[in-house]
Chains A and B, each alone.
Chain A
Amino acid sequence: MSGPSDFKPSNPALQWIERRLPILGLMHSSFVAYPTPRNLNYWWTFGAILSFMLAMQIATGVVLAMHYTPNADLAFRSVELIVRDVNYGWLLRNMHAVGASMFFFAVYVHMFRGLYYGSYKEPREVLWILGVIIYLLMMATGFMGYVLPWGQMSFWGATVITNLFSAFPVVGDYIVTLLWGGYSVGNPTLNRFFSLHYLLPFVIAGVVVLHVWALHVAGQNNPAGVEPKTEKDTVPFTPHATIKDMFGVSVFLLLYSWFIFYMPNYLGDADNYIPANPAQTPAHIVPEWYYLPFYAMLRSIPNKLAGVVVMFSSILILVFLPWLDTAKTRSSKYRPLAKQFFWIFVIVCILLGYLGAQPPEGIYVIAGRVLTACYFAYFLVLLPLLSRIEKPRPLPNSIADDVLAKSGKVAATVAAFIVAGGLVIGSAQSVRAEEADTPPANRWSFAGPFGKYDRGALQRGLKVYKEVCSNCHALSYIAFRNLADPGGPGYSTAQVAALASEYKIKDGPNDQGEMFERPGRPADYFPSPFPNEQAARVANGGAAPPDLSLITKARSYERGFPWFIFDFFTQYQEQGPDYVAALLQGFEDKPPADVKIPDGSYFNKYFPGHAIKMPKPLSDGQVTYDDGAPATVAQYAKDVTAFLMWTAEPHMEARKQLGFQVFVFLIIFAGLMYFTKKKVWADAH
């Protein structure tokens, strides 16, 4: 896009096309011959990483849409069916869900890089503003995508965010009704969010084209912040930038795959594995980690309208950045004060993210206000002031000079960034159950990168479920056929057919128009003990026993700082199973003196609030084991928890196995990319 190209294809057929549509020349001048500053560091590869992530999200999203049902009654189940039944559905869903987080992680790095090196300054203002527009579109897309699984957090997140618009005087309520297509968040809302969630990524792709166009008109900024002057200052885009970007992408893929294969739920919220329930609000409504800083600002303002205005301003202020910071020197490398304040600003953003995940009380509110003030002060006071008083250090004469004086601290900063990112990411996790005792950690056979289910435990757990839990709890996402699936309890198809035929399944209507009962088949699902939720509620003292299919993923407890950072490295993912196992063993006949248990409830040490409606379900010797395992409550609890972990994550073994193969491949690939890159760049350093 830098003027007419003198590119001439050698193939006559291509020449024929080129005379009619000079697209090859355009590609050649934009992505091959295009001069790129030779001193770009690895922070500049995030542009390519973002393009890659956008393509990834669109590809996985289009495929997921082929299996998803945007209906309030069916959406939650259809997502579970994608994960359980569609070939590689678990992989595609993880790629898409984790991909959203990775996309935002990369965009934040990209934005902070622009901020640090002054990439928004003349002549790149329009380029920067287009970037802010892309970011806003991404936020809208990400929010609507999070609503689609129709879990509790989806529903209540949608309620809270759409209600933001009700803050506007007079027209607010009309806007909200218009957004909902009803009198509350419901099926029409879900349908339109699905439509828009499909549309917006393509709008983003369109704006990305403009963004790249503007980039190629103004030329890339670079760490020195001086414009290229001679040929010596630049290298051709291909192969130099292409190979470097691809190396960046391959390293990024390692991080991405770490989440996809080993901790797909680390970035999510356990509550979203509970189907949406308009009659019950989760204790803490927390957005996805990438919105937390803005959520913190919203909540720190006591007035509703002002809070909403502040939140939107915090993003819109970025549009005016080129005119707030008028310093002539671009790169913070040569601005001693701006450099320090930049890092303080990064810390402010991370801390705001941490606060966004905390309950809005006491010290958190005050800290939120102080940090919100800091955030705005950086843009409105500090940057304009610095541009007047700061004395920048001398700039290098040219990019070539800068390259000669180069020092490599990239690895250290990358490491620092990953830790910092982990901080914010994990803080989303730290908001869970109330002041209940922390469940003790267990040794699970399925933990860790090579974890596998213990077949014996799964079979014993099924027995405990059948004889005890199934009297009240449904297991409606599990079909009998699943018991023979690879990576499961390991029954044969004949055993499964025999087990299924013990059940009576309601079917019909038959030719006479009557419903009838027949013996179960492997394709049938475990029948539920109650015909509907109301019946379950009435029969159990007002508290409906939850479906157990997903319980080990739908329950969690607070890990807290700094544990959630360690969890990222140790792949600790077993909060759910630990909680369930602890709960089953946490019943005590005599509650402590300071806890009052209402009639009809029971004391449980690990249940949030301690008053649980479920009576102590297990006692020693209740279930007879055939394989000689001890018939104790502790053993029952462990076995049934392992079984329920399998029901929640039936493809876990395949996931971890494939993950190992992918890692071996990616490490080799990244290594090859690195040496290729070194070779290509040998002449440029």
Chain B
Amino acid sequence: MATGAAAAVGTIFAAWPFVAQMNPDASTIAAGAPIDVDLAPIADGQDIKVFWRGKPIYIMHRTKKQIEEARAVPTDTLKDPATDQSRVKEGHDQWLVVIGICTHLGCIPIAHEGLYDGFFCPCHGSQYDTSGRIRQGPAPANLPVPPYQFVTDTKIQIG
């Protein structure tokens, strides 16, 4: 009994390195460290795409109209309810920062397309609004907001 238990424990511990090696290695993790992005060159209504951890991050400088559109929608009508305020940093309402990976099956949506002036995924037709929230199509959730903070008024750190 004790021998069997010891063998089982030993096997599990011996198997662990074989599973753990599958996870991101040290260099991949190091390369995934936070990055700084300068927002000054992005004009009103424009957006840029930066890569962080191999993922495209959309940084959108929203116009007044886009912000109003996003805030006019009652949240209880949404598939994945979230207020626009909860998806941006207070005092920086014009900046939308989202991971540009469709929550359906991982394609990259195109900015400024679709019925909601937000994002449109060409793969299976999911449409996101100016707050990156899912409005139509098969995607189950909103475009995720990556961890980031404002270092200065025109500079953010993603990660």
Contact = CB atoms under 8 A, between A and B. Distances in A.
B138 to A, nearest CB: 6
Interface of B: 19, 22-25, 28, 32, 49, 51, 53-56, 104-108, 121-125, 138-140
Contact of B24 (A163, A166, A177, A302): A177
23 contacts: A159-B107, A160-B105, A160-B123, A163-B106, A164-B105, A181-B22, A181-B28, A182-B53, A183-B28, A183-B55, A184-B53, A184-B55, A188-B28, A192-B22, A278-B54, A279-B108, A285-B107, A304-B104, A304-B138, A305-B140, A359-B125, A360-B124, A360-B138
4 smallest beta-carbon distances between A and B, as pairs: A184-B54, A183-B53, A163-B106, A281-B107
Contact of A181 (B25, B121, B138, B140): B25
A299 B24 CA distance: 30
Interface in A178-213: 178-186, 188, 192
Contacts of A307: 138
A179 B22 CA distance: 7
Nearest to A159: B106
A559 interface: no
B54 A182 contact: yes
B58 to A, nearest CB: 12
A302 B54 contact: no
A116 interface: no
A397 interface: no
A216 interface: no
A334 interface: no
A166 B104 CA distance: 9
Interface in A191-242: 192
A162 B22 CA distance: 14
A285 B106 CA distance: 11
A182 B108 contact: no
A361 B22 CA distance: 37
Contacts of B22: 178-179, 181, 192
Interface in A269-304: 278-281, 283-285, 299, 302-304
Contacts of B49: 279
A128 to B, nearest CB: 31
B54 A186 contact: yes
B107 A279 contact: no
B53 A156 contact: no
B66 to A, nearest CB: 20
B16 to A, nearest CB: 13
Nearest to A277: B108
Contact of A160 (B23, B56, B106): B106
Interface string A315-350: 000000000000000000000000000000000000
Contacts of A156: 107
Given A183-B32, A360-B125, A361-B125, A281 B108 contact: yes
A188 B32 CA distance: 14
A442 B107 CA distance: 36
A185 B56 CA distance: 12
Contact of B25 (A164, A188, A304): A188
B24 A281 contact: no
Contacts of B121: 281
A281 B104 CA distance: 14
Contacts of B122: 281, 283-284
Contacts of A184: 53-55
A302 B138 contact: yes
Contacts of A304: 104, 138-140
Nearest to B139: A304
